[in-house]
Structure 1
Amino acid sequence: MITEPISLAELERDALTEIVNIGVSRAASNLRKMIGGEVLLSVPSIDVVSQRRAARLISEREVSDLIAVRQNFQGPFSGCALLIFPETNSLELVRAVTGGELSTAELVEMEHEALAETGNVILNSCLATMANMLKRSLQMTIPEVIRGSGATLFEVDETNASEGLVLFLYINFSVRKHDIRGYIAMIMDLPSLATLKELLDEFIQRVMSDDA
Structure 2
Amino acid sequence: MIQLNELQHDALLEIFNIGVGHAAASMSDIVREEVRMSVPSISFLNRAQAAALLSSAAAGPSRVCGISQHYEGAFETEAVLMFPEDKSLEIVRLMVGEAVPLEELTEMEQEAMSEIGNIILNSCIGTLANIFGQELTGSLPAYHVGTSEEILTASGSPADAIVLMLHIDFILERHEIHGYVAFILDMSALSDLQEQVDRYLAKAMGS
Name the residue aligned to 2:204.
207
- Deviations 1:7-41, CA, capped at 9 Å, x for gaps: 11111100000100000100101111233221111
Q: Which amino acid aligns with 1:200?
A: V
* Separation (CA, whole Å) in 1 of partners of 2:102 and 2:173: 18
**CA offsets 1:128-163 (integer angstroms, 9 cap, x no match):** 00111011111100001101111111219xxx6x52
Q: Specify the alignment match of 2:19 in structure 1.
A: 23
- Kindly state the Cα deviation for residue 176 of structure 1 after the two structures are TM-superposed: 5.3
Aligned partners of 2:116, 2:148: CA distance in 1, in Å?
A: 21
Where does residue 12 of structure 1 map in the other structure? Answer: 8
Runs (5+) with no aligned partner, structure 1: none
How much has 1:45 moved relative to structure 2? Answer: 0.5
Q: Summarize the Cα distance change of 1:100–1:178 in structure 2 as closer, same or farther, 3 Å threshold.
A: farther
**Secondary structure of 1:142's aligned partner:** coil
Q: Which runs of 5+ in 2 are unaligned?
A: none
1:35 aligned onto 2:31: yes
Distance across 2 between alignment mates of 1:20 and 1:51 = 21
Alpha-carbon distance between aligned partners in 1 of 2:204 and 2:22, rounded to the nearest angstrom: 21
- 1:60 Cα offset (Å): 2.2
Letter in 1 for 2:200: F
Q: CA deviation at 1:51?
A: 1.1
On the 8 A contact 1:68/1:85 being kept in 2, the answer is: yes
CA distance in structure 2 between the aligned counterparts of 1:198 and 1:180, rounded to whole angstroms: 33
Q: Deviations over 1:155-183 (max 9, x none)?
A: 19xxx6x5210110111212452222211
Look up the equivalent residue of 2:198 and give its one-letter code: D
Partner of 1:98: 96
TM-score normalised over the length of structure 2: 0.93
Please provide the CA RMSD for this pair. Answer: 1.5
1:87 aligns with 2:85: yes
Could you tell me the percent identity over the aligned residues? 39
Mapped partners of 1:107, 1:181: distance in 2? 21
Looking at structure 1, the residues matched to 98 and 166 of structure 2 have their Cα atoms a distance apart, in angstroms, of: 27
Q: Say whether the 8 Å CA contact 1:96–1:176 is kept in structure 2.
A: no
